[in-house]
Chains A and B, each alone.
Chain A
Amino acid sequence: MNLAIIGCGGMGGNHAQFATNCGLNLVACGDSHKKKAQALAKRFGAEATDDCMALCRRDDVDIVGIMTPTPTHSAYVIAAAEAGKHIFCEKPFGRTVDECLAAEAAVKKAGVRLFVGHVVRYFHEFEAIRAQIEAGKAGNVGFVKAYRGGIFPQGEDMWFRDYEQSGGVTFDSSIHDYDWIRYVFGDVERVFCQALQRDDAIDYALVTLRMKSGVIAHVIGTWAHPAGFRVKVEVCGDNGMITYDNAEAPISSMMRQVEGGQPTMIVPANPVETSPYQLEWVDFLAALEGKGEPKVTPEDATWAVRIASAALESAKSGEPVTL
């Protein structure tokens, strides 16, 4: 099957690799910055364009991958769906719940498949935590804490710095944890959030989720650190605890600086044979072949946006938001 990718920044390049690893043929790359589209297209022998809407409608395209800034997602999803394409959309699904619902409706009407990349559901460590919970190792769980983040992301044209566009760490990054917590512990009853959202690119979000089951979840998101990327999870129950910290990894390396420059290479600290990003494509492509449902449904992706939107609303009002 033929793939087109819209949005040729870091995530676009990432997905181009993993999708082609799965046997997809990348035929076209679109980006409003044509040079980015050309650079990625060259790597994969594809065509480049800055007309992303036209790319959604190309006859030779079966799947459209949408890796652009969040507020543009729904328009591309709707265009691709109307053209009868299957769609892989990066998270967050949309910037508002209404955008998500409009995109969902378009997909349903067109009878195409939509997958939203809530990749944490595919991370080995998160699946292992879920397995331990399901095996009862913590007993009945009453409290969950998730911590994620590090340096403020760059993104194309520094678009993350525009909190209206990106929603900051509260929306863009902690949505991984809202989705995973809902995946494992069910629906959310209410949301409370305090967030920094400073203009000098320091953001920090403190979110409390009260689940319908009664479980309390605390989600901490940071784009306030000068460097690094940290993920920590803690699950507490009536018969035990499960904790995870990505600082505990099999490889620790330190590369010597070359004269007057950056270190020459980065060694991954925590390699796995198959990347979770590739597992997303495997799951999505299996669904396209009629082999079951993927782990993430469009409804799940809308729910994640609903929780993230409630967090921003709470941060603004200073009071909890009931869903």
Chain B
Amino acid sequence: MAKMGIMSFAHMHAYSYAACLNELPEAEFVAVWDDDAGRGAAAASQFGTTFIADLEEFLGSGIDGVIVTSENVKHRAMVERAAAAGKWILCEKPLATTPADCQAMIKACADAKVGLGTAFPCRYIQSLLAVKQQIDNGDFGAIYAASCTNNGQFPGGWFAQMDLAGGGATMDHTVHVADVLRWMLGKEFTKVYCENGHLLGRDTDLDDAGCLQMEMEGGVIISHIASWNRAKSFPTWGDVTLELIGEKGVVYIDSFNQKLNVYNDDAMKTEWAFWGDNPDLGLVADFVAAVDEKREPSVTGVDGMRALEVTVAAYKAAAEGRTAAVQRAAC
């Protein structure tokens, strides 16, 4: 039985991962630590576990693995502390906000001989798994092009602050799809163009709309919308969509389009109730198994860094008004 802890409930995904830990029979959710004691204690109480205010005490409490779900810029320090204490780590995306931070985190985990995973639950979405299988089988032949989206509602809170988030919508909504494409096509990104800005009046100084154009090895052309463009009245939080243009056919995947339309007079807006499998459960189950088997999580820290490098190139391109090469840091 893997003993698991969560470091910080700053990111809303922590609540889903906590529920997954409680759902998985192979995991024991033993403790929560948070630099916001009130938030951590409330979450611990919600999920029937213990809040430990002191970080050293938390790391010394017999846990085997931690999920780090803090604000983006705090990932590195928390991962380094956990690695030094010999814990297996699953870190929320983006892995960090700079490639240098990613490199340091990967090195710290390698030096401590602990596993480091990046929380990319899209790899566990059944529709994406099914299409990846078809691509691997050669059913679509070579993939020539893709147009993708990771649209979302404005998350607010620390996501709106540069000093905690490290960037706006482009930072928040590029890495999932960048990782999915690397995974599905088995290619690296080579260059990026990006138009972005604060265009949608969201309550932040950061970019709330991003439109990326990317190229992968072999000349695959891709566009991606990384945006907080979904209205508050939109029926759901957002989407992950990909249209792939292949030699033998095309495929469009609307990953979360397993939904009911719900018309409820209290809400006074249409809501979509998702009924598909929970991808977070696959992500957390893999991490728990990695902890148990003392192996790397399936989606690694390097995967997290490679996706972040696309984001960094996007901001560079947007600032310079031309394409930016994707710089792949050593690892």
Contacts and interface: CB of A to CB of B under 8 A. Distances in A.
B234 A241 contact: yes
B221 interface: yes
Contacts of A195: 221
B126 interface: no
Interface residues of B, number: 35
Given A142-B209, A241-B234, A204 B144 contact: yes
Interface string A131-143: 0000000111011
A236 B231 contact: yes
A214 interface: yes
Nearest to B199: A142
B196 interface: yes
Interface in B186-210: 191, 193, 195-197, 199-202, 208-209
Contact of A218 (B199, B223, B233): B223
B250 to A, nearest CB: 5
A320 interface: yes
Contacts of B223: 194, 206, 208, 218, 220
Given A196-B145, A202-B245, A208-B223, A143 B231 contact: no
B83 to A, nearest CB: 40
Q: Is the interface of A mostly helix, strand, loop or mixed?
A: strand
B195 A204 contact: no
Greatest chain B CB density within 10 A among A198, A215, A241 is at A241
B322 A196 contact: no
A238 B144 CA distance: 35
A155 interface: no
A225 interface: yes
B222 A206 contact: yes
Given A142-B199, A224-B145, A241-B234, A236 B229 contact: yes
B225 interface: yes
A93 B197 CA distance: 33
Nearest to B249: A226
A216 interface: yes
A192 B229 contact: no
A138 B215 CA distance: 32
Contacts of A206: 145, 147, 213, 221-223
Interface of B: 144-145, 147, 191, 193, 195-197, 199-202, 208-209, 211, 213, 215, 221-223, 225, 227, 229-231, 233-234, 243, 245, 247, 249-250, 321-323
